[in-house]
Structure 1
Amino acid sequence: MQKNPTFTSLVAVGDSFTEGMSDLLPDGSYRGWADLLAGRMAARTPGFRYANLAVRGKLIAQIVEEQVPVAVAMQPDVITLVGGLNDTLRPKCDMGRVRDLLTEAVERLAPACKQLVLMRSPGRQGPVLERFRPRMEELFSCVDDLAALHGAVVVDLYGAPSLSDPRQWDVDRLHLTAEGHRRVAEAVWQALGHEPEDTEWRMPMPATAPPAWVARRVGDARFARQYLLPWIGRRLTGRSSGDGLPPKRPDLLPYEGPSA
């Protein structure tokens, strides 16, 4: 990888992770790692252009159908692709189909840009990760194989101790906090060959006293009521949190936004 390369455009493809949930801005919109990364790149390159096609809740088939052709047509310098994790969290998941669709996405995106970026997504400590870990690791093995075959960069967030810490995750236990997104932006920044701005983004957070038993139970009850039960309801009815929502930033336009 070239050191401190100059890129003139970025297109981000994916689901809620790339949309930026739960890095909430005062106006109610989400920022997230992709916006932070674009801000850094724009600060180095006048006229830098950025599109973010991500929509929360999207499965890999929807990403391939709805986002990949748009990203290919844009022909940017850099494309980031993070997808498939929503599939692995479904009760019924055909991992063979997920691998095939991810392969199709990479085969179409890699020739359309100068640098394709793939990721091994972060995983929060807890029973949910343990239940779905085999599927996730099968997905990440596919990511590694595809990257080696097509010259993509892999950002290993799954192996970063800092991002497995529950304190880096929002109350919904599915999305990173603002600090978590900042660390992801740093990870991608370095993977693209830029000089580190935070050499310790992987390092665990300082230890703190765990919450009291009562506080944990209150938090569990709130999580179940506000997030888990609605999530289960959507799964049972075939709905998605992203149904009817447009891409976050559908056009590849000059970017003047937040920087890290």
Structure 2
Amino acid sequence: MGPGDRVRYVAIGDSHTEGVGDGDDVLGVRGWADRLAERMAATGARVEYANLAIRGRLAARVRAEQLEPALALEPTVATVFAGVNDVIRSGYDAGAVIGELEAMFAALTGAGARVATLTFPDIARVAPLARPLVPRVLDFNERIRAAAGRHGVVVADVARYEISTDRRLWATDRLHCTPLGHDRIAGALASALELPGADDAWTLPLPVLPRPGRLPAAADEIRWLGAFLGPWVVRRLRGRSSGDGRVAKRPGLLPVETG
């Protein structure tokens, strides 16, 4: 990928790919996929980019709603990241979820796209109360690596790096990234895709901060329970999703402008 190359980049997935945590719903969200498209354009390539991701989507719904539109755009590069919404639900079926992801890998690589995906960091180091989910996340990552290997999909293995669990990369809901976190993920994918100028700077640690005492840490957990986990549980009980009524923010290929 470089000067003069034509690139059609299509991103599919859930809130992480949509860009939740990087911006807001008034001015719009940006996210790592937008940032990755900008890095592609910075190589001098002529980049067109579509983002079909919608927050709250489970892997099966990502495949059902986004795969065919993605294929219709004839991407030369695609990113697929979904399944985290499945992992955190009680009815999680690892085989079924990875099957959905692998079907997307197979279809997109079979259509000639270069496909990239991600692993998910140790959730307990971001949200300690989610520690019971750690075995699921570790298994999910191993299955992602294996499925990607079967289809020649590039893996930005962010879970293997200490920086991935730095709280400064995570929004207050502990499920989505901050702008800094989204930028680091874009860097990871740029490196995995071997974009010109990409390096391992995304892995570098941030300056060390003092560790909070036990009482402030406990108070932080209580605030998180009330502000984020509680409302999330209520939505599940009501059969509602954060993505209800939403549509893709960038459903068609549009040129990416470089600053």
Match of 2:231 in 1: 230
Once the two structures are superposed, what CA deviation does each residue of 1:124-153 show, in whole Å capped at 9, x if it has no partner? 414345311222222222221222211110
Match of 1:191 in 2: 192
CA distance in 1, matches of 2:142, 2:87: 13
Task: Calculate the aligned-residue CA RMSD, in Å.
Answer: 2.3
Match of 1:54 in 2: 53
Match of 1:152 in 2: 153
**Structure 1 residues 18 and 29: CA distance shift in structure 2, 3 A:** same
1:141 aligns to what SS in structure 2?
helix
Match of 2:141 in 1: 140
Task: Kindly report which structure 2 residues correspond to 1:1-260, keeping only aligned pairs within 5 A, or say none.
Answer: 6=5, 8-24=7-23, 27-45=26-44, 47-124=46-123, 125=125, 126-197=127-198, 199-256=200-257
Asked if the contact 1:8–1:45 (Cα under 8 Å) also holds between the matched residues in 2, the reply is no
Note the C-alpha offset of 1:123: 3.5
Find runs of 4+ consecutive structure 1 residues off by over 6 angstroms.
2-5
1:243 aligns to what SS in structure 2?
coil
Identity %: 38
CA distance in 1, matches of 2:134, 2:4: 35
**Structure 1 residues 7 and 37: CA distance shift in structure 2, 3 A:** farther
Once the two structures are superposed, what CA deviation does each residue of 1:135-186 show, in whole Å capped at 9, x if it has no partner? 2222222221222211110110111210111222111111111111111111
Structure 1 residues without counterparts, runs of 5 or longer:
none
Relative contact order higher in (CA < 8 Å, ≥ 6 apart): 1
CA distance in 1, matches of 2:36, 2:29: 14
Amino acid at match of 1:161: E
CA distance in 1, matches of 2:175, 2:12: 18
TM score, norm. by length of structure 2: 0.90
Note the C-alpha offset of 1:198: 5.2
Give the aligned length. Answer: 257
CA distance in 2, matches of 1:253, 1:67: 17
TM score, norm. by length of structure 1: 0.90
Note the C-alpha offset of 1:235: 1.6
**Structure 1 residues 144 and 45: CA distance shift in structure 2, 3 A:** same
Once the two structures are superposed, what CA deviation does each residue of 1:175-220 show, in whole Å capped at 9, x if it has no partner? 1111111111111111111244553321332221123445434433
Query: After alignment, is 111-120 or 227-236 more displaced?
Result: 111-120
Once the two structures are superposed, what CA deviation does each residue of 1:208-255 show, in whole Å capped at 9, x if it has no partner? 112344543443333222211110111222211011100121111212
Note the C-alpha offset of 1:111: 1.4
**Structure 1 residues 128 and 155: CA distance shift in structure 2, 3 A:** farther
Query: After alignment, is 189-198 or 162-171 more displaced?
Result: 189-198
CA distance in 2, matches of 1:3, 1:98: 35
Query: After alignment, is 92-101 or 171-180 more displaced?
Result: 92-101
Asked if the contact 1:79–1:113 (Cα under 8 Å) also holds between the matched residues in 2, the reply is no
1:48 aligns to what SS in structure 2?
strand
